[in-house]
Structure 1
Amino acid sequence: MEIVKRRELAKMVFQTRIKSEIGKLKVVLLKRPGKEIENITPATMHELLFDDIPYLSEAQREHDKFAEVLRQNKVKVLYLDDLLAETLKNKAIKNTFLKDLITCSGFTRGATYDALKDYLGNLETQNMVSKIMEGVRKEVFGKTLKNLRSFPEIDNTPFIMAPMPNLYFTRDLASIIGKGASISSMTFKARQRETLFIEYILKSHPLFSNQTIPYWHRRDDITKIEGGDVLVLNNHVVAVGISERTSVEAIENLASNLFKNDSGYDTVIAIKIPNNHAMMHLDTVFTMVNYDQFTVYPDIMQEHRKMDIWTLHPSSEGIEYKKHSDLQQVLKDCLGLDEIDLIYTGKGDPVAAMREQWNDGSNTLTIAPGEVVTYNRNYVSNELLREHGIKVHEIPSSELSRGRGGPRCMSMPLLRADL
């Protein structure tokens, strides 16, 4: 894994900016799977939002190949844990961060809070970040465990602070929309602490602290929204999924903040998708791969290819809503296109489409117009992409895919070239 050293970071100068899904990808944020993956057990995997337990060394090999493909295509790869450790080199920031993290983990002031703060605060910063992400086991406190809130007699988990195995899906933590950020407010407890990391990075890391980044949504907002549901289609249109993890109210709040804060965005397309684990985010069933080409899982559509879709625009009264049912027509109207090419997962075959959607056949990461990164296991969808003129970079996926997320899920773009 490439480690971005402090001197390298000091040389980097860029302004966060995402004005499309397809502009040449310049800078991206990843998280290499770590020991947090090995700290999933059969008893905890569903609580931690996993259906299986990936084999760590193979997952790391696959992820390294993903990062290598990006670098070969001149994408600057940054790592979440490295940026967080750099941010926390400041002792005052580190102290405040620990207070926030332990509180978010469910511990208020008291014996457990004090023990965790003392243990973590005395670790070297990079090691501390790793420990936080992989989970803190009760055994590190030895005989003092009896003074802590969680006792083995009533709590049979070995962890006093749970691991965060979903971190390698960095897309969900936040979305850069234009020059601003929407920091996610996660639906499930297993992921709610993760967004604290990106909040501190964007606020205090030297790469971002000299930028004025407006926030379209904040992690402590009541309404729930996750980055996998947000697609920045161009410089004035955003699509957002109404999903298992993003609420209607969050989309309304996001639209309101975009419209009234000079964001440049005047259109939000809200797309209703089935509310289930297999289709947890919009980007698991729909992504943009070229100016007029999109992948789509056909089962999100109803009879006669109809869907529940709303467009939101600013009005004198706040927001104007319009109901639609034809995805192609909405995309043509909002993006000013004469034609739209919908590329169906698994070629629309009822077996292949379902199988490949489960393995993230629709979750493509576009790195330039008409050029994508996909999982190699989705060979039917990949063949169809090529038939439609898309350049496809395949990466190995036997273990990464067990987390129910693909290349788009595993990447948070920070900078794309304007179209």
Structure 2
Amino acid sequence: MNLHVTDETSRLKAVILGTAKSNGPTPTIDEAYDPKSLEHIKAGTYPVEADMINEMEAFNEVFKKYDVKVYRPEIIEDYNQIFSRDIGFVIDDVFIKANILPDRERELDAIQYVIDQMDPNKVVRPPDEVHIEGGDVMLWNDHIFIGTYKGSDYKDFITARTNMAGVQYIKELFPNKIIKEFDLVKSKIEPRDNALHLDCCFQPVGSNKGIIYKSGFREEADYMYLVNLFGRENLFHIEREEMYHMNSNVFSIDKDVVVSERNFTRLNNWLRDHGFTVEEIPYAEISKQEGLLRCSTLPLIREK
């Protein structure tokens, strides 16, 4: 397998799509990884497996329509394997295994059959002190955008997934790229104020546009960096409630094809007005776990 990913929007050829099969029972309050899951566990509205399987199959059907090669994880009994983006990511032709929360290590084992098809010299694992997850890593031509959390209380936040050692690791691995980190707002208790990953408050679409949530950034300078890079007129600004529903977490199959949640009316209209084909699917149940379309995918090959 010849890996190739240099941006977020070039024509997709191969991807790992997570799975909701044998997802396990509803977590307890103590087992919640993020405030949005916690909110739904407490409310009794946590998603059920059958609904999540149907949503992921709708996503899979879109991939079939566009002739994308789809790999799925091997099933681990009673285990959440929806969010494949967390466990690894490709930059250029290198597969980087993420240092994820320790009890999620088995998720990497479940895609080992895919990793075995890669050049072993192109598969790397950062040292233990490096924390980095795929949702925080975004490729944009010569740029690599990385979400992080610079607060001195980093270790107290289970919602802080990528540390500055992770940023430094990518800088050393890709010295010819422009690496820009973004300090994200984190909350353990209020999902409307928690940018779990960079793709919860920003994502490029097309060749020069993006979706952005200003209040997801701790520093206005970080937000302004993207405004200056993309141009304000090319950015769709989402509101707090839209960020909560994960409007920035869509997924691009091509420069002009975006898979989006069917309830994102304002965003989907904006995308269509700017010439995009919008493939609308139901994904609202999965979004209750503070992840959406980009989180469920691990792109392996995009066209050059």
Q: Distance in 1 between matches of 2:50 and 2:128?
A: 37
Matched, 1:296 2:212: yes
Gaps of 5+ in 2: 41-45, 150-159
Q: What secondary structure is seen at the aligned counterpart in 2 of 1:71?
A: helix
> Alpha-carbon deviations, 1:326-369, whole Å to 9, x = none?
3222x35xxxxx88611112xxxxxxx22221111110101100
Matched, 1:226 2:125: no
| 1:282 corresponds to which of 191, 195, 198 | 198
1:55 to 48, 51, 68: 48
Q: Write out aligned runs for 1:200-215 (5 A).
A: 200-201=112-113, 203=115, 205=116, 207-208=117-118, 211-215=119-123
Select 2:108's aligned residue among 195, 211, 214: 195
* Alignment correspondent of 2:97: 183
Give the secondary structure class of the aligned counterpart of 1:326.
helix
Matched length: 282
The 5-angstrom pairing of residues 85-96 of structure 1 reads none
Kept in 2, the 8 Å contact 1:179–1:213? The answer is no
- Residues 139-178 of structure 1: CA deviation (Å, up to 9, x unaligned): xxxxxxxxxxxxxxxxxxxxxxxxx32x211111111000
Q: Say if 1:27 and 1:416, in contact at 8 Å, map to a contact too.
A: yes
Q: CA deviation at 1:190?
A: 4.1
Q: What is the aligned partner in structure 1 of residue 182 from structure 2?
A: 271
Give distance in 1, aligned partners of 2:174 and 2:281.
Answer: 35
Shift of the 392–222 alpha-carbon distance from structure 1 to 2, 3 Å rule, reads same
Is the partner of 1:15 in helix, strand or coil? coil
The answer to whether the 8 Å contact 1:185/1:195 transfers is: no
Picking from 162, 167, 174, the partner of 2:88 is 174
Give the TM-score, by structure 1 length.
0.62
Coordinate RMSD, CA, aligned = 2.4
One-letter amino acid matched to 2:292: G
> Which residue of the other structure, out of 12, 15, 19, is the alignment partner of 1:32?
19
Query: 2:245 matched to which residue of 1?
Result: 359
Q: Please list the CA deviations of residues 251-308 of structure 1 after superposition, one character each: whole Å capped at 9, or x if unmatched.
A: 011111222xxxxx421121222123531000111111111101111323579xx333
Displacement of 1:185 in angstroms is 0.7
Equivalent in the alignment of 1:69: 62
Say which of 375, 383, 397 aligns to 2:283. 397
Q: Does 1:342 align with 2:235?
A: yes
Alignment-mate amino acid for residue 30 of structure 1: L
- Structure 1 equivalent of residue 295 of structure 2: 409
State the TM-score, normalized to the length of structure 2. 0.84
Task: Measure the CA separation in 1 of the matches of 2:147 and 2:29.
Answer: 31
Which residue, out of 138, 145, 150, partners 1:239?
145
Q: 1:69 to 1:195 in 2, by over 3 A?
A: same
Question: Highest CA radius of gyration, 1 or 2?
Answer: 1
Secondary structure at 1:373 match in 2: strand
- Against the structure 1 CA distance between its residues 344 and 218, is the aligned structure 2 distance closer, same or farther, given a 3 Å change threshold? same
Is the counterpart of residue 369 in structure 1 residue 255 in structure 2?
A: yes
Between 384-393 and 25-34, report the one with greater CA deviation.
Answer: 384-393
Give the distance between the partners of 1:250 and 1:221, measured in 2 at CA. Answer: 10
Q: Deviations over 1:219-253 (max 9, x none)?
A: 5532100000011112x321111142111121011
Separation in 2, partners of 1:340, 1:239 = 20
CA distance in 2, matches of 1:239, 1:233: 7
Secondary structure in 2 aligned to 1:26? strand
Q: 1:171 to 1:47 in 2, by over 3 A?
A: closer
